Amino acid sequence: MSTLTDANTTTASTAEPVHTQNGQVTATKPILTAEEIHKLLPHRYPFALVDRIVEYVPGERAVGIKNVTFNEPHFQGHFPGRPIMPGVLIVEAMAQVGGVVLSQLPDVEQGLFMFAGIDKVRFRRPVVPGDRLVMTVQLLCVKRRRFGKVQARAEVDGQRVCEGELMFSIVD
């Protein structure tokens, strides 16, 4: 498996920082591109929900971006005439950023991370086509090298969209 260091030798301390302007994330050099994320996570279209990682602190946190576009398949039925990104996909996108953090921990077993629990999730506003979803995931703990827990938060234009605690377990 590729590591974050293998995928891109830029570290969080030397990477171009996430720039905000009026609470909105502007263009920034990615730490990981979509292709590099695919080396770390098994998700593929239409379920690959992270376009880039723009900030990464090993063993602590990552910030990922999802550019929400009208041509995504779920918008055909959710909802006709008023496209809204399903909440479960927002949570899944946050989890994928968490997967990048967990898959890079040196003392954690290799394998497929799956949800073990979702707690305290709250949705604050809808996500619609044209939005740029910025997801920040903070590692809370790792137990027995097989279980992980993260605090996740998603924002659009500096406004909180969703937040919660996500638990993962490695399956063999």
pLDDT tens-digit map of 30-75: 899 999 999 999 999 999 999 999 999 999 999 999 999 999 999 9
The reported pLDDT for the residue numbered 22 is 55
Number of separate helices (H) and strands (E) present in the chain: 3, 8
What CATH number should be reported for the domain holding residue 128?
3.10.129.10
The reported pLDDT for the residue numbered 23 is 52
Tokens of 8: 């891109």
Active site residue 43: no
Domain that holds residue 17: 4-171
Residue of 19, 38, 43, 78 marked catalytic: 78
Q: What is d(CA 70, CA 129) in angstroms, rounded to the nearest whole number?
A: 5
Report how many domains make up the chain.
1
The reported pLDDT for the residue numbered 26 is 54
Could you tell me if 136 and 152 are in contact, meaning their C-beta atoms sit under 8 angstroms apart? yes
The reported pLDDT for the residue numbered 27 is 54
Start-to-end CA span in the chain (Å):
15
Residues in the chain with pLDDT values less than 50: 1-19
Tokens of 139: 């590692």
The reported pLDDT for the residue numbered 146 is 86
The reported pLDDT for the residue numbered 28 is 61
